[in-house]
Amino acid sequence: MKKVGIIYEITNNPYFGKVQENYSNKLSEYVKPSEINWICEAFTNLGFDYQLIDGAEGLLKQKDHFKEFDLFFNKSIGFKGLERKIIVPSIGQLYHLPMLGTSGYAMTLARHKYHTNRLLKGMGFPVPFAYYFERKEQISKIHKYPVIVKPNAESDALGISERSVCYSFSEVEEKAEELIYDFNQPIIIEEFIPGEEWKVAVIGNNEKTKACGCVNTLKNGLSMNGTLQTREDILNNNLSYDIPQNTSLVTKALSMSEKIHSLLGLNDYSRCDFRIDETGKLYCMEVSTHPYISGKTSSFVMAAMQTFSNFNAVMKQIVDAALKRYR
């Protein structure tokens, strides 16, 4: 029986302890118990033995037992900073471990929203115009509104509210000052694309990379036209997904996602997020190297199940992609 080590933060993860305060603007993409339960059940169904490993420190404690594992599934997020996802992949590289997931470099690149935006633009992909500022005093006049103001190195809609969409320079200054103070990091100001929000699931590596499906994000059961996904929407489970009806545009989104996955050097699985403007043009908003993969509410899984029959089949495809890469 093959053995897999599932690496994620437990000790300091508020989801695994008694939450004593409102964490709506403190939690990021930390792994939740429900996601781990789905992953563990899938590995059991696929005939794997598994062991839970408590983040980077827990992985190092397994040093004398590394040869007992056939694969490590990296769900480690870290806790602070732009480079917080880089530690576990780096340990894997140092000790030549078969690590499922993207490299530390590509993970860090994808966390830096502005760098990803500029790189994709240079590669010829459509992206919204973007500005990057470390301090409020650096913000210059913006010539086109509306824009969205958000932390540069966060995810899971952290720091995003209905007030994040700004229609004037004074609104931009106010929101920027708030975010720089709250998150102690630079901000990115992007063109706000008001149309639908699509998410594409990608699995595989190199020439075997395949975009498996695409879902349209709904907010309280309605299209995202004119609005956005906020932190409260995630915490209150306001989001659901359906299949987009514009098949020609879906085909374009799938093709674009496969190319982005490969050109950014992502491994095994990823998710590409798009918005659509009033002319029907797709814009790549960001790329997730750690997409949420619970079986019930995950946009990644719902998109991937347009190709694969169930959650176990999705997980098997991801695992097979990693094992083939190491062979």
Q: Residue 64 sits in a domain of what CATH number?
A: 3.40.50
- In this structure, are 8 and 49 located in the same domain? yes
Spatial neighbors of 164 by CB under 8 A, at least 6 apart, are: 148, 149, 150, 175, 228, 230
pLDDT at 277: 94
- In this structure, are 145 and 221 located in the same domain? no
- In this structure, are 214 and 229 located in the same domain? yes
- In this structure, are 156 and 246 located in the same domain? no
The average pLDDT across 125-153 equals: 93
Asked whether residue 106 is assigned to any structural domain, the reply reads no
pLDDT at 313: 97
Domain span at residue 12? 3-100
Spatial neighbors of 236 by CB under 8 A, at least 6 apart, are: none
Beta strands in 67-121 (DSSP E): 71-74, 99-100
Neighbours of 251 (CB within 10 A): 12
pLDDT at 142 over 90: no
The average pLDDT across 81-105 equals: 95
Asked whether residue 185 is assigned to any structural domain, the reply reads yes
Task: Write out pLDDT tens, residues 50-79.
Answer: 999 999 999 999 999 999 999 999 999 988
- In this structure, are 293 and 317 located in the same domain? yes
Helix axes 87-94, 104-111, angle to 10 degrees: 170
Q: What is the CATH number of the domain that holds 278?
A: 3.30.470.20
pLDDT at 23: 52
Asked whether residue 115 is assigned to any structural domain, the reply reads no
- In this structure, are 153 and 34 located in the same domain? no
- In this structure, are 173 and 232 located in the same domain? no
- In this structure, are 225 and 150 located in the same domain? no
Among 191, 224, 241, the domain-final residue is: 191
Asked whether residue 54 is assigned to any structural domain, the reply reads yes
Q: Helices H, strands E: what count in the chain? A: 10, 14
pLDDT at 15: 79
| 11 or 249, which is more confident | 249
| 140 or 134, which is more confident | 134
- In this structure, are 84 and 168 located in the same domain? no
Number of domains the chain is built from: 3
Q: DSSP 3-state assignment of 46?
A: coil
Asked whether residue 17 is assigned to any structural domain, the reply reads yes
- In this structure, are 142 and 248 located in the same domain? no
The H-or-E segment that residue 53 falls in is strand 49-54
pLDDT at 250 over 70: yes
Asked whether residue 114 is assigned to any structural domain, the reply reads no
Asked whether residue 113 is assigned to any structural domain, the reply reads no
pLDDT at 270 over 70: yes
Among 172, 191, 210, the domain-final residue is: 191
Asked whether residue 216 is assigned to any structural domain, the reply reads yes
- In this structure, are 33 and 147 located in the same domain? no
- In this structure, are 166 and 264 located in the same domain? no
Q: What is the CATH number of the domain that holds 176?
A: 3.30.1490.20
Residue by residue, DSSP assigns 220-261 as TTEE-TT----HHHHHTT-EEEE--S-HHHHHHHHHHHHHHH
Among 62, 79, 100, the domain-final residue is: 100
Q: Which amino acid is at 141?
A: K
pLDDT at 22: 52
| 192 or 182, which is more confident | 192
Task: Write out pLDDT tens, residues 185-229.
Answer: 999 999 999 999 999 999 999 999 999 999 999 999 999 999 999
